[in-house]
Structure formats: structure tokens, C-alpha cells
């Protein structure tokens, strides 16, 4: 089933065609298709069967993420009590692949260099043990609030948050972290399919961080 297609700016289509080449047609088809709705359960708070019972929905596993699931039907889940209680995090299935590819070990110290709003940070926390540490860094000041809210909601422990410029952070703790995660360029393009206004306002300047 297709969703209403936003009016994509010509510059966006030209840029993606140049990047994707022969895959551009498949990219357009994906943009027009129904967006997969995913959630990642919080293993520190709930198991799959209990969460499925609470939501009253079928949960289909995301192949690349043991705690990730696809859900279909039902109302929006953002205001569901189980979400507000931090039993799960609403996240695109593709975004779940990042931490799984990193494959952090339980005792690792990991820095998330662009942490807001917290999807990958909470995923990291769920993969680490009592000896692990996540340093959640976000240099855009107004994005720290949603990061803190999501960490609190999910009951995330073993996390330190900060807003340190990356070159300064590198000089403060050389060799301290076992891994660094940077989901760049933080252009907001993941929102294009969800928000027609965001799609209509896309520009190279926005991607570069200098636009509105």
C-alpha cells in the first residue's frame, strides 16, 4: 500500500539520483511505500511476550536486531502507557542496525558522539553490562532535553551526558573509549517520509547544518 507522496524538492531528487545511480528507481519505490513501524523493547524492563500482551499487537522480529520488532495495525504507540514507562523505544528498523553492527561488548566504554534524541544511546545501554559505560554527547544544546527525557523514561543507567565539542572531547580522553559511534551527518533526512513540511524544506544547506 502506498502512502501520500510528499512533494520532493528537485534538488533532493537530483542529489539522490547522483548518489544512487541504478538504485534510484528502487529508492523512489521505497519512499512511496508504507513506512515500516518498528519498536525496540527494553530488555531491562520487559520481555517480548509480555510486551505483545500489553500492546495487543503482533510483533514480528527485525532480522538484524534481537530486541527489534515490526508492528502493524493499532493506534499510535507514542502515548501508550508501556511507552511512557520505558518498556520500548519507537525506532525505525534500519536505525537498529547501527548498534548491532558495532556489536559492543558488555564491559565496553562507548561514546555516542551525536546522541540525541537517544535511540542509539538507549540501544547501547541495553547491550552493555554493569561494567559498561556510555558517554552520550550532543553538541546542539536544545537537543539535550529530549535525550535526557528518553534516558530517564527508559531507566538507563551507566550513562553520562555532555555537550562537548568533538575536538575538545578527543583531547580530554585519548584512548579511553573502546568504540565511538557517530551517526552523521545529522541532517534530519530520516524525517522526510514522516513529515511533508520537513520534506518541502529540504535543501543542501539544511543537510550541511547551515539552513533553517
Residue 183 marked as a ligand binder: yes
Q: Which residue has the higher pLDDT, 212 or 189?
A: 189
pLDDT score for 1: 45
Is residue 195 a known part of a binding site? no
pLDDT in the model for residue 9? 84
Q: pLDDT for 1-21, tens place per residue?
A: 444 555 788 888 999 999 999
**DSSP string computed for 61-90:** EETTEEEEEEE-SSS-STT-HHHHTTSEEE
What would be the CATH architecture of the domain defined by 42-94?
2-Layer Sandwich (3.30)
119 in a labelled binding site: yes
> Which of 28, 35, 14, 3 has its CA nearest to residue 202?
14
* Alpha-carbon gap, residue 100 to 93, rounded angstroms: 11
pLDDT in tens, 100-120: 999 999 999 999 999 999 999
- More confident position, 162 or 187: 162
Q: Hey, where are the domains in the chain?
A: 1-35+195-212, 42-94, 104-181
- Is 109 labelled a binding residue? no
170 is in an annotated binding site: no
Is 138 labeled as ligand-binding?
Answer: yes
162 is in an annotated binding site: no
Give the burial string for 20-56 (b: 16+ CB within 10 Å, else e): eeeeeeeebeebeeeeebbbbbbeebbeeeebbebbe
Give the SS3 label for residue 36.
Answer: coil
Mean pLDDT of the chain: 90
One CATH from 3.30.70.20, 3.40.50.1370, 3.40.50.150, 3.20.20.80 for 104-181: 3.40.50.150
Q: Determine if residue 129 is labeled as part of a ligand binding site.
A: no
Topology agreement, domain 42-94 and domain 104-181: no
* CA neighbor of 137 nearest in space, from 120, 153, 154, 155: 120
- Is 209 among the annotated ligand-binding positions? no
- Whether the CB-CB separation of 37 and 71 falls below 8 Å is answered with yes
Q: Is the dihedral of CA 111, 114, 118, 119 positive or negative?
A: negative
Find out whether 156 and 125 touch, Cβ atoms under 8 Å.
yes
Give the pLDDT mean for 157-183.
93
Question: How far is Cα 111 from Cα 34, in angstroms, rounded to an integer?
Answer: 34
Please tell me the distance from the alpha carbon of residue 171 to that of residue 161, in angstroms, as a whole number: 17
Distance of CA 187 to the CA centre of its chain: 13
pTM: 0.85
Amino acid at each position: 500500500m502506498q502512502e501520500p507522496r510528499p512533494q520532493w524538492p528537485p534538488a533532493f531528487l537530483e542529489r539522490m539520483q547522483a548518489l544512487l545511480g541504478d538504485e534510484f528507481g528502487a529508492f523512489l519505490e521505497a519512499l512511496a511505500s508504507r513506512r515500516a513501524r518498528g519498536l525496540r523493547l527494553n530488555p531491562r524492563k520487559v520481555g517480548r511476550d509480555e510486551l505483545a500482551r500489553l500492546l495487543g499487537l503482533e510483533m514480528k522480529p527485525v532480522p538484524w536486531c534481537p530486541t527489534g520488532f515490526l508492528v502493524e495495525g493499532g493506534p499510535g504507540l507514542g502515548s501508550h502507557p508501556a511507552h511512557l514507562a520505558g518498556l520500548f523505544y519507537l525506532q525505525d528498523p534500519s536505525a537498529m542496525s547501527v548498534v548491532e553492527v558495532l556489536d559492543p561488548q558488555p564491559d565496553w566504554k562507548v561514546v555516542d558522539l551525536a546522541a540525541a534524541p537517544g535511540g542509539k544511546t538507549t540501544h547501547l545501554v541495553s547491550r552493555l553490562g554493569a561494567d559498561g559505560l556510555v558517554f552520550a554527547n550532543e553538541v546542539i544544546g536544545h537537543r539535550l532535553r529530549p535525550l535526557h527525557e528518553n534516558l530517564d523514561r527508559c531507566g538507563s543507567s551507566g550513562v553520562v551526558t555532555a555537550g562537548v565539542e568533538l575536538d575538545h572531547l578527543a583531547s580530554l580522553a585519548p584512548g579511553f573509549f573502546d568504540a565511538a559511534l557517530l551517526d552523521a551527518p545529522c541532517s534530519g533526512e530520516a524525517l522526510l517520509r514522516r513529515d511533508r513540511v520537513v520534506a518541502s524544506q529540504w535543501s543542501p544547506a539544511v543537510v550541511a547544518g547551515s539552513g533553517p
